Structure 1
Amino acid sequence: MRSFAVNNFGDTRSGGLAGPMGLFVIVLLCIATVLLIRNMNKRLRRLPDSFSSPEQTQREAEIARLNADLDRPDAGTTPRNVEEPRSATPVEGAEDEVKAVNTEGDGLSADRDERHI
Structure 2
Amino acid sequence: MLVELVPVGDTVATVLAQNPEPPANQGEEFGKASPVALVVILCLAVATIALIVSMTRRIRRLPQSFDEPDKDAEKEPEQQG
- Normalized per residue, the structure richer in helix is 1
Q: Quick one: higher RCO (CA 8 Å, sep 6+), 1 or 2?
A: 2
TM-score scaled to structure 1, two decimals? 0.36
Give the TM-score, by structure 2 length. 0.49
